[in-house]
Amino acid sequence: MKLRLLITALLLSAIGYSQKTTKKNYQYINPLIGTQRMGHTFPGATVPFGSVQLSPDTDSIAYELNKKYNGKVYEYCAGYQYADKTICGFSHTHFSGTGHSDLGDFLIMPTTGKLQLNPGTADNPASGYRSAYSHANETASANYYKVKLDDHNITAELTTSQRVGFHRYTFPKSADAHIILDLMAGIYNHKDKNVWTFVRVENDTLVTGYRQTQGWARTRTVYFAMAFSKPIKQYGAAKYDENNIYNGFWRKFDQTRIFPEAAGHNIKMHFDFETAENEKVKVKFALSPVSTANALANMQAEVPHWDFDRTRKEGEQLWEKELNKIQVETLTEDDRVNFYTAMYHAFINPTVYMDNNGEYKGLDQNVHVAEGLTNYTTFSLWDTYRALHPLFNLVQTERNNHMMQSMLAHYDQSVHHALPVWSHYANENWCMIGYHSVSLLADGIVKGNLAYDHDKALEACISSANLKYYDGIEYYQKLGYVPEDKNGSSVSKTLEYAYDDWCIAQIAKRLGKDEVYKEYMKRSENYKNVFDKGTGFMRPRLSDGTFKKEFDPLDTHGQGFIEGNAWNYSLYVPHNPDALVAMNGGKEQFAQHLDSLFTMTLPDKYFEHTEDITRDGIIGNYVHGNEPSHHVAYLYNWTGKPWKTQERIRMILNAMYKPKPDGLGGNDDCGQMSAWYIFSALGFYPVAPGSDEYALGSPLVKTAILNLENGRTFAITAKNQSAKNVYVQKMELNGKPFTGSTLKHGDITNGGTLVFYMGSKPVK
């Protein structure tokens, strides 16, 4: 470690890096960035890749309205909306930046005065246990959240360990202080979401139980252990919407007051105290996927004390360790806040999914033991294969190894014999399209990741790519494309399957499986089957071979695409940009086509009913707020006009990422938006994961040091960097002139220096 620090210091000195502040990198994290509108991030407390994401929920919006989907619920994917004026409580599990949701488990709310067990309404918070609050009395930072609950005169503070949420509530003097545990609350909640809830009051300071739900994850059970820092004065339970005609002989008891166990579909608990002025009541809340015994063991292993500030500091140190994997100097403090907040968002998901003893619940709903690795969940693969996992291949290599092994364990446990599509909490939710696990496995193998079984990976990839009943694959195998009259979003699926097939071919090539390589390279050309030369766009075809007649390349609705239009998706051939350029009339014509994408106007009518695309994520007709276009600005490199890539990249960095609550131009999608920022700010990007090459762009940083897990460092500096100097004049790699438009993975992992010389005029 001392040698690495010495090497880093020497490199920093050599490239002119100067740390102008004594602030730690974690102090530049702003969890409130992206919490409004499309951001859907949560501002609460968590450690890197934490099993617990403890955060405020600002309303109780139901998934259903008049027996239909309630579009308003989409704004609460992470539970928190910056514009809301009230807080309902603090729950322990959240997604970060997803376009669909679940979780929000075990909501805790401290109150005073008359006991109320319903949250009430936003326009009348006094009608329930919720409370008004002000952003002036709200603080969010790495592994810490603090807010004043005005209606109850309580200050709430939150921090976490890996599996434990730690609450500290400063109460006023009160004979009626309460801590409510709402097991009905949740995100994307609906009437029948709770399958069962169970609570045991073990003694006057310890409570255990579990909650089973059916939602995005169809069969999900989470266990808990809850400890109080002072004895409970009294407690009670309430059941809601219980229509079971059979009550057995439990009816002989009054189960609502001081009865030590409660069970039912929908339960709320209250724990009552007397408090002195400014008395701090603390709560430790541990989670487990396996049992209450494991939850209690997790608490005892991770937070065996009642020192809130110690747990907070330990979490901050964990964040500092992860953020130090990339050390940057930027032009402005805003850029630095953006960069380290992006790293923070990138290192929230996937999440650790196992207990301290290695046990976890598998896809088969049995208990498994992760031996020699950390098991992970929350794989939002349609989003994260593009840049997040390639980023992990650089700076989270060991974790990424374990994530790949977790996905192979998923394959072993799958009755479909398939890798994850979008999985969380021992469930496959089948969200979005493609079989993009193969991209992650290929990217790791091609870049030298030796920590998982490559032959097993290839077997799993082939099995996933041939699951006939999944999303039109049966037709894709027979016709070479997905027909729109048989399976919707057909063009998007065809294009993404073709890229995934190319990834499988790269694995086969590495393993010397020539026949498999040839088969999947042939399949990887299926993008040609949905290209309409007459219009110049990818276009839906029908099962009889004809193109769908009604076609509007600007529309995102009913045109054969998912969360995108033909203009954006027709640029999705990441594994063969040269062929894409040729299909579009050659370099000059294709460059003009890209120019049109960025400069034309896309009227609102074309995306107004698409939740994941909004005006604030669009530049011209380029949709940065959604993932399918994230590689597009780099395609100018294949037209012989790299200066246009440089210009567009710096424009996007400045337009789509700002250090404020609505500062993200779209969903962060479990870190993908943030990973794009990190790569692009460093000056390169993985256009085709599964390749060992990165396309070069225009760095935003002045200097950067990548501290790699192999003990080497890679230093980046941008000479003459400024807001106007966005064009690369020349480059040097390890002191020698560098003229390529791509950077090899090995160029980085072998260690060395990359110098960009920047200027205000393009070099043509």
pLDDT of residue 428: 98
- Residue 699 preceded by cis peptide, ω within 30: no
Torsion 65-69-71-74 (CA) sign? positive
Q: Which residues contact 705 (CB under 8 A, 6 or more apart)?
A: 8, 11, 12, 17, 326, 327, 328, 713, 714, 715, 716
- The tokens for 595 are 């120019």
- pLDDT for 19 equals 47
pLDDT digit string, tens, across residues 496-544: 999 999 999 999 999 999 999 999 999 999 999 999 999 999 999 999 9
Q: Name the percent of the chain lying above pLDDT 70.
A: 97
C-alpha 660/C-alpha 654 separation (Å) is 13
Q: What is the b/e burial string over 722-742, where b = at least 16 CB atoms within 10 angstroms of the residue's CB?
A: eeebbbbbebebeeeebeeee
Q: In the chain, pLDDT over 90 holds for what percent of residues? A: 91
Alpha helices in 372-525 (DSSP H): 381-384, 388-395, 397-413, 437-446, 454-465, 473-479, 490-510, 514-523
Amino acid found at 200 = R
Q: How does pLDDT run across 273-299, given as a tens digit for each residue? A: 999 999 999 999 999 999 999 999 999
Domains of the chain from N-terminus onward: 1-30+325-354+571-764 (3.30.2080.10), 33-318 (2.70.98.10)
Those residues with Cβ within 8 angstroms of residue 243's Cβ, 6 or more apart along the chain or in another chain = none
387, 389, 392, 394: CA torsion to nearest 10 = -60
Q: What is the mean pLDDT of residues 565-577?
A: 98
Name which of 518, 623, 618 is nearest 561 in CA terms: 623
- Measured distance CA(415)–CA(113) in Å, rounded: 52
Task: Determine the Cα–Cα distance for residues 333 and 129; give it in Å rounded to an integer.
Answer: 39
Return all residues near 194 (Cβ < 8 A) that are at least 6 apart: 183, 184, 186, 211, 212, 213, 265, 266
Average pLDDT of span 408-426: 98
Band of pLDDT at residue 12, cut at 50, 70 and 90: low
Residue 246 has pLDDT above 90, yes or no: no
Q: Output the CA torsion sign for 374, 378, 381, 384.
A: negative
User: What is the Cα 125 distance to its own chain's centre?
Assistant: 32
How far from the centroid of its chain's Cα atoms is residue 181's Cα? 27
**Residue 620 has what pLDDT?**
96
User: Measured between alpha carbons, how far is 14 from 19 in angstroms, rounded to an integer?
Assistant: 14
298 closest CA partner among 395, 350, 371, 225: 225
Average pLDDT over residues 51-79: 94
Q: Per-residue pLDDT averaged across 140-148, rounded? A: 98
Helix (H) / strand (E) element for 755: namely strand 752-759
> What pTM was estimated for this model as a whole?
0.97
**Phi/psi at 271 (5° precision):** -125, 125
* Residues, the chain: 764
> Rounded mean pLDDT of the chain?
95
Q: How far apart are CA 394 and CA 706, in angstroms?
A: 9
Report the alpha-carbon distance of residue 413 to residue 427 in Å, rounded.
11
Confidence of residue 639 (pLDDT cuts 50, 70, 90): very high
DSSP 132-177: E--GGGEEEETTEEEEEETTTTEEEEEEE-SSEEEEEEEE-SEEEE
Can you give the pLDDT at residue 582? 98
In 3D, which of 40, 78, 107 has the Cα closest to residue 269? 107
**What tokens appear for 130 in the block?**
């919720």
Between CA 456 and CA 461, with CA 457 as vertex, the angle to 5 degrees is 120
pLDDT single digits (tens) 71-101 = 999 999 999 999 999 999 999 999 999 989 9
726-762 pLDDT tens trace: 999 999 999 999 999 999 999 999 999 999 999 999 9
Q: State the helix-helix crossing angle for 437-446 and 397-413, rounded to 10 degrees.
A: 140
Q: What is the pLDDT of residue 38?
A: 62
Which positions ≥6 away from 508 have C-beta within 8 Å? 458, 514, 516, 517, 520
- Name the token pair of 520: 């999947």
Task: For residue 133, give the amino acid letter.
Answer: Y
Average pLDDT over every residue of 144-170: 98
Inform me whether the pLDDT recorded for 6 exceeds 70: no
Q: Could you give the 3-state DSSP secondary structure of residue 656?
A: helix
Most confident of the following: 1-10, 247-256, 408-417? 408-417
| 393, two tokens | 């291949």
Mean pLDDT of 189-198: 95
pLDDT at residue 750 in the model: 98
Give the model confidence (pLDDT) of 582-625 as tens digits.
Answer: 999 999 999 999 999 999 999 989 888 888 888 889 999 999 99
